[in-house]
């Protein structure tokens, strides 16, 4: 039976050399690194565990002198210093050989906990090449399915997309030209700078300016930074007043409901851009349902709760999943200059206070700007299926005109 490494459990079959654990410092390192009870006299592999020990000892060589360590690290050993791992303080109690009194020292031991043994994206389990992300990157990038962003995370992502929109808009203007909208050959790289300057000059001279209102952009930036740390007050109110149950809400036709009116510019001030405003029409089209009284007409259904006069609810079906329903809540006040100030949605970015999600924007566009004019909204694409007739209703033996 082959012996195995006390650290990584690698079998010593002749391909890897083994080395005896002869020093207290080696014993302490392997015990903390692999969370095992390592005894002196056991064996570790020379190609992995020993290299990790030498790498750690390189940054803590003062401990070698303190503990009278006899092993000297070879200068010829090359260790990968780019590996990103967790530094965990471990307390070791050691009795030196010169009969000094026992002392406690704290030394950093490099180890990886079980929670970091698999990649959060692809699921691969290779701790030797894993990278541990700091808190900010965890908030911005990685999110499990069906888990909502917090208000701060949703606000941060909105600020990022707002900045990216400027870059993509400029790139889009250049890519309108056929030469830049395809793969560019290496033979033209020497002239690429001149071509870019010519195209940008033509755009600046004869096309619409990339920045139309610098004062408005500065105003948006100040508002977005001000709201970056805000929490979602509507979500807190729903939880406090127990308004999340469906039984508390009743359906109502939006045409019979009085809602504050906004201009298109005021709606853009809420969304901090035009992307959600342009999508609003298609969202409303999919939400229209045939009227119960007049099936040939369509209505936009909203929900209201008893004894709650400043809150309206709209249920949207997800555009990506037929089984997923998102609830949007909008708080308003007809007696102030800016009647729409707070909102909440159960979608991924629904807690956002820097701007709003597309569901909220669609509701505001229809109730505040479109003034519930159903005839101005095209028929929902889903209803076009009603124009298709079932072939089973026709006989296979109909007379042919031939």
Q: What is the pLDDT of residue 168?
A: 84
pLDDT digits (tens, 9 = 90+) for 241-257: 988 888 889 988 888 88
Break the chain into its structural domains and give their ranges: 18-129, 151-226, 233-381
Q: What's the confidence (pLDDT) of residue 102? A: 57
- Predicted local distance difference test score (pLDDT) of residue 314: 92
Instruction: Please write the tens of the pLDDT for every residue from 4-39.
Output: 888 888 777 766 678 888 888 888 888 888 878 888
Per-residue pLDDT of the chain (402 residues; tens, 9 = 90+): 667 888 888 777 766 678 888 888 888 888 888 878 888 888 888 878 888 888 888 777 656 555 544 444 433 344 444 444 444 444 544 444 545 455 565 655 545 455 555 666 666 776 666 666 655 455 444 444 446 778 888 888 888 888 887 788 888 888 888 888 888 889 988 999 999 999 999 988 888 877 777 788 888 888 888 888 889 999 999 999 988 888 889 988 888 888 888 888 899 889 888 888 888 888 888 888 877 777 777 788 899 998 888 899 999 988 877 778 899 999 998 878 888 989 999 988 889 999 899 999 999 998 888 765 555 555 555 556 666 776 766 655 555 444
> What confidence score (pLDDT) does residue 120 get?
61
Task: Please state the pTM of the whole predicted model.
Answer: 0.56
- The reported pLDDT for the residue numbered 57 is 80
Give the 3-state secondary structure of the chain: CCCECCCCCCECCCCCCEEECCCHHHHHHHHHHHCCCCCCCCEEECCCHHHHHHHHHHCCCHHHHHCCCCCCCCCCCCCCCCCCCEEEEEEEEECCCCCCCCEEEEEEEEECCHHHCCCCCCCCCCHHHCCCCCHHHHHHCCCCCCCCCCHHHHHHHHHHHHHHHHHHHHHHHHCCCCCCCCCCCHHHHHHHHHHHHHHHHHHHHHCCCCCCCHHHHHHHHHHHHHCCCCCCHHHHHHHHCCCCCHHHEEEEEHHHCCCCCCCHHHHHHHHCCCHHHHHHHHHHHHHCEECCCCCCCEECEEEEECCCCCEEEEEEECCCCCCCEEEEEEEECCCCCCCEEEEEECCCCCCCCCCCCHHHHHHHHHHHHCCCCHHHCCCCHHHHHHHCCCHHHCCCCCCCCC
pLDDT of residue 78: 40
């Amino acid at each position: 039976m082959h012996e195995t490494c006390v650290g990584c459990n690698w079998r010593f079959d002749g391909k890897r050399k083994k080395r005896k654990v002869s020093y207290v410092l080696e014993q302490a390192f392997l015990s903390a690194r692999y969370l095992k009870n390592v005894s002196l006299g056991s064996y570790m592999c020379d190609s992995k565990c020993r290299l990790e020990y030498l790498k750690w000892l390189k940054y803590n060589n003062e401990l070698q002198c303190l503990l009278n360590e006899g092993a000297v690290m070879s200068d010829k050993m090359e260790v990968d210093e780019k590996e990103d791992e967790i530094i965990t303080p471990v307390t070791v109690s050691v009795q030196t050989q010169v009969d000094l009194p026992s002392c406690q020292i704290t030394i950093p031991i490099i180890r990886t906990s079980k929670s970091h043994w698999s990649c959060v994206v692809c699921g691969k389990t290779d701790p030797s090449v894993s990278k541990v992300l700091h808190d900010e990157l965890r908030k911005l990038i990685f999110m499990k399915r069906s888990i909502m962003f917090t208000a701060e995370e949703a606000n941060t992502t909105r600020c990022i997309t707002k900045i990216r929109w400027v870059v993509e808009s400029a790139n889009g203007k250049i890519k309108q030209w056929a030469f830049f909208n395809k793969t560019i050959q290496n033979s033209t790289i020497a002239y690429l700078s001149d071509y870019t300057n010519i195209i940008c000059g033509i755009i600046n001279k004869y096309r619409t300016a990339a920045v139309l209102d610098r004062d408005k952009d500065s105003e948006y930036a100040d508002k977005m930074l001000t709201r970056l740390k805000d929490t979602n007050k509507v979500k807190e109110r729903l939880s406090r007043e127990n308004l999340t149950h469906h039984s508390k809400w009743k359906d109502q036709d939006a045409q019979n409901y009085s809602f504050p009116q906004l201009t298109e510019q005021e709606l853009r001030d809420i969304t901090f851009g035009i992307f959600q405003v342009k999508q609003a029409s298609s969202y409303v089209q999919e939400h229209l349902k045939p009227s119960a009284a007049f099936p040939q007409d369509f209505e936009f259904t909203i929900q209201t709760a008893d004894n709650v006069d400043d809150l309206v609810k709209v249920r949207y079906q997800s555009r990506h999943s037929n089984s997923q329903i998102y609830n949007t809540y909008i708080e308003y006040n007809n007696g102030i200059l800016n009647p729409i100030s707070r909102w909440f949605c159960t979608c991924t970015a629904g807690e956002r206070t820097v701007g709003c999600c597309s569901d909220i924007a669609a509701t505001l566009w229809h109730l505040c700007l479109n003034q519930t004019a159903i005839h101005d909204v095209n028929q929902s694409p889903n209803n076009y299926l009603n124009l298709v007739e079932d072939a089973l209703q026709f006989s296979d033996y109909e007379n042919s005109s031939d």
